[in-house]
Amino acid sequence: MKEFKYPLKYIASICSRSEPYGIFHIVPPTCWKPPCSLEKKNILEKSEFVAQIQRIDGHQVQHAQETMASAHGNTKTKRKRDVKVALDSQLGNRNTSIPNNQNVEKCDCKSEPGPKFSLKAFKKYDDIFKSQYFSYKDNKKIVGSNIKLAIRQLWEPSGENIEGEYGRIVQNPTEEIKVLCSNTLEAGVFSSGFPTVSDSVEAYTYPENLKSGWNLNNILSLSGSLLCFESSEASRNFPPNIHVRIRFSPLNRKVEEHHLYSLSYVHLGEPKVWYDIPGRFAANFETIWKKYLPDLHAGQPDMHDNMVMQLSCSILKAEGIPVYRCVQYLCEFVLVFPGAYHSGFDCGFNCSEAVSFAPLE
């Protein structure tokens, strides 16, 4: 707890050994347990957001011969599935190296607006998605004169199972997969997951959490934060944001703007899996991305934000680019360093909060 007390001081103390990886996983002391404002009934059931529908099948290029012609190809021959429909693929045998179906084309993975949800309804939606996707049917069995009909059974996937299936979907898809996630929700508008002064009951009940530097509403104003010298108007450009996601929701590869750090915290739900390319390899990565996806680069000259088509880890490894992996669980932080390209996905319904910030250096 003594180490953890001052966020910017702690981050400075671990920089030399963690910055080479581009990402750092921070597990708070067990005695640090802030309440989660998002669990309050009026927010859980009544605060709504518009979900984004995102196609994820085939948004990673796995082999050098995969060209942008396939990225923008005709998808009429592909079987279509969305998150409301149970997939009929054989999930009992999850092999992440399933060969690509000849009729499957790479997708144009732009998102589009979907329906409105409350947090509670979105959690229920993810439960339904899981029960449909990760289920199987027993074969008919004849015992004496009785016939046991096929019975739908729920199979509880592990994190490794989910990650393996996500890898299959984005690299070797056999059907069109759409998932949902929220757009970025400003915490000051939707609701922060940390205590705030606007809630007098929380402010009175949890004064230490209200004032804590790890409360992401406070980090911009901490002593040692460069942005604390900015005007209040300028600081409003860097508010904490809420992200609400479900199983397989992708985080498209991006780098933080203005060479800032990013700090993320999971308030509710299942783990997030991160993949990170350290900042010292950013220039090499950009060169390789242009090499494999030249046509896409021509249409997206600003590579730093929301790269929907991605290169697989196998290509990056073959080109000498390291990719580091991190799993962020409930009530844990992930720090992303300036210049690091990061991406990932979610293992189930979760709500996280993130903020960009700048220490003095």
Could you tell me the CA-to-CA distances from 305 to 51, 92, 256, 343 in Å, in that order? 20, 36, 8, 11
> Which amino acid, residue 143?
V
> H helices of the chain, where?
7-18, 41-46, 68-71, 119-133, 159-171, 200-205, 207-211, 232-235, 282-292, 294-299, 313-318
Taking only the tens place, the pLDDT of each residue in 211-223 is: 999 999 999 989 8
- Determine what percent of the chain is predicted with pLDDT higher than 70: 77
Confidence of residue 62 (pLDDT cuts 50, 70, 90): low
Taking only the tens place, the pLDDT of each residue in 316-359 is: 999 999 999 999 999 999 999 999 999 999 999 999 999 999 99
Q: What is the pLDDT of residue 90?
A: 27
Taking only the tens place, the pLDDT of each residue in 96-131 is: 222 233 323 344 557 789 999 999 999 999 999 988
Taking only the tens place, the pLDDT of each residue in 281-322 is: 999 999 998 888 887 655 555 555 556 678 888 899 999 999
Break the chain down into helix, strand, coil percent, rounded to 5.
30, 25, 45
pLDDT surpasses 60 at 200: yes
pLDDT surpasses 90 at 16: yes
Tell me the whole-structure pTM to 2 decimals. 0.83
Taking only the tens place, the pLDDT of each residue in 246-280 is: 999 999 889 998 899 999 999 999 999 999 999 99
Q: What is the pLDDT of residue 311?
A: 87
Q: What is the pLDDT of residue 189?
A: 92
Output the average pLDDT for the chain: 81
Concatenated DSSP letters of 62-127: -STT--HHHHT---TTSPB--TTS---S-TTS--TTPPPPTT--------EEEEEEEHHHHHHHHH
Residue located via tokens 């079987």: 79
For the domain spanning 2-60+112-134+157-293+308-357, the CATH number is: 2.60.120.650
Q: What is the pLDDT of residue 132?
A: 86
Q: Is 254 exposed, middle or buried (0-12, 13-18, 19+ CB in 10 A)?
A: middle
Q: Which of these ranges, 12-16, 49-53, 63-67, 100-104, has the smallest mean pLDDT?
A: 100-104
- Determine what percent of the chain is predicted with pLDDT higher than 90: 54
Looking only at Cα atoms, what is the longest distance across the chain?
81
Residue located via tokens 């015992």: 143
Q: Of 74 and 132, which is predicted with more confidence?
A: 132
Summarize the confidence of residues 18-37 as an average pLDDT: 95
Could you tell me the CA-to-CA distances from 44 to 114, 191, 196, 361 in Å, in that order? 19, 10, 17, 39
- Torsion angle (degrees, nearest 10) of CA 139, 143, 149, 150: -20
Residue located via tokens 């009544």: 46
72: tokens are 């923008």
> Which amino acid, residue 169?
I
Residue located via tokens 């999930």: 91
